[in-house]
Amino acid sequence: MRIICKKSNLVKGVSIVSKAVPSKTTMPILECILIDATTDVIKLTANDMELGIETTIDGIIDSRGIIALNAKIFSEIVRKLPDNDVVIETESDNQAIITCEKAKFNIAAQSGDDFSYLPAIEREDFITISEFTLKEVVRQTIFSIADNDTNKMMTGELFEIDNDVLRVVSLDGHRISIRKIELKDAYQPRKVIVPGKTLQEISKIIGGEADAEVEISFTKNHIVFEFDRTLVVSRLIEGEYFRIDQMLSSDYETRVHVNKKELLDCIDRATLLIKEGDKKPIIIDIKNESMELKIKSQIGSMDELIFCTKDGKDLMIGFNPKFLIDALRVIEDEEVDLYFMNAKAPCFIKDENQSYIYLILPVNFNAAV
């Protein structure tokens, strides 16, 4: 094999596929990027068996071939080369020579035959959304997936398509995040659970332009994202997702309309008094036209008054401040509405169209006052 690519193209391609290289593995071949120049295009692939990424880059194929190179070493070398044409050559299956200007690297390689290729996917139907929208819905929900594997389903997000609506849901047992977006076309109903890690990596790769599109297609066990010159294939999480609709209610006893930044900054300040691992709640005392936020810990205490508009009853309720912060941080609206039933029922932060719904369970605060 002998190929010639611009350094910038190589850097971009390697950086994209590297997202599918596992940080820890006992199989050296999984730590590799496959360079496939057996056809008319130069294709880079990485695959950790859950998530696989493939991208094509511009370049000249002098002689066809295929080789697997350690991703970490290859990407570091490529990044530090002068900004010029890079030649990658192989003489055998276990040696690659990378040359750029007067610099010449000789590194160990592995045969392409040992590499586990992406599963061949027959794409039937696909939905189309903009890179921007995909990136946004992931950012606005990903924080409430569970980060450990005790319940596999909670480590993923529900992607639910119904007609021309895509609903994305994540939950971790203490809270639920829901984003609903309208699609340009109508599609067959479909429900899949996408691994959180896949969505995190995809968010890093896609540019986020509003006019660039991602095509998302499904097979029985996989979801496929296709954009630009890149293909991302991920396994789905098996099983039936939690029935969240029965947890959502539109009744309320107290509704508060408040400036989002003011509320967020105030809760953010209050968390200074909580050491990592400490479970002190923030107490919100809703009275007349104000919310008083109070927190008390070993370090000290804070209270702050925020003006708001209130419908309904007065209420005193406690929350894990982190959960409020996570939700408020991703909401773009300047003003938000909070809906409460009582001190033991979940709080809902949602907009009028319910394009976002954040459900947060309260905590008991008797001990803290």
Angle CA(148)–CA(330)–CA(133) in degrees, nearest 5? 95
Shortest Cβ distance from residue 355 to its own copies (Å)? 30
Shortest Cβ distance from residue 75 to its own copies (Å)? 10
For strand 110-111 and strand 356-360, is the pairing parallel, antiparallel, or unpaired?
Answer: unpaired
Please say which residue, 166 or 291, places its beta carbon nearer to its own copies.
291
**28-31: long-range contacts, CB 8 A cutoff, minimum separation 24:** 28/70, 28/110, 29/68, 29/110, 29/114, 29/115, 29/116, 30/116, 31/70, 31/71, 31/72
Q: Which amino acid is at 308?
A: C
Stretch that binds its own copies, among 16-24, 131-139, 156-164, 265-273 (CB under 8 A): 265-273
For helices 7-17 and 71-80, what crossing angle results, to 10°? 150
82 binds its own copies (CB under 8 A): yes
Stretch that binds its own copies, among 76-84, 118-126, 169-177, 243-251 (CB under 8 A): 76-84
80 binds its own copies (CB under 8 A): yes
265 binds its own copies (CB under 8 A): yes
306 binds its own copies (CB under 8 A): yes
212 binds its own copies (CB under 8 A): no
Please say which residue, 77 or 137, places its beta carbon nearer to its own copies.
77
266 binds its own copies (CB under 8 A): yes
**Exposure string (b/e) for 55-79, b if CB count within 10 Å is 16 or more?**
bbbebebeeebbbbbbbeebbebbe
73 binds its own copies (CB under 8 A): yes
Phi/psi of residue 262, nearest 5 degrees: -60, -45
Strands of the 290-296 sheet, one edge to the other: 290-296, 282-287, 315-319
Instruction: Output DSSP code: residue 290.
Output: E
300 binds its own copies (CB under 8 A): yes
Among 304, 326, 335, 351, binds its own copies (CB under 8 A): 304
Shortest Cβ distance from residue 114 to its own copies (Å)? 19
Angle CA(245)–CA(247)–CA(253) in degrees, nearest 5? 120
Shortest Cβ distance from residue 91 to its own copies (Å)? 14
CA 253, CA 283: separation in Å to the nearest integer?
A: 18
Binding pattern for the stretch 94-133 against its own copies, x by CB under 8 A and - elsewhere: --------xxxxxxx-------------------------
Which residues is 3 bridged to in the sheet? 61, 88
299 binds its own copies (CB under 8 A): yes
Shortest Cβ distance from residue 73 to its own copies (Å)? 6
Please say which residue, 41 or 103, places its beta carbon nearer to its own copies.
103
The residues binding its own copies (CB under 8 A) are 73, 76-77, 80-82, 102-108, 265-266, 268-269, 272-273, 299-306
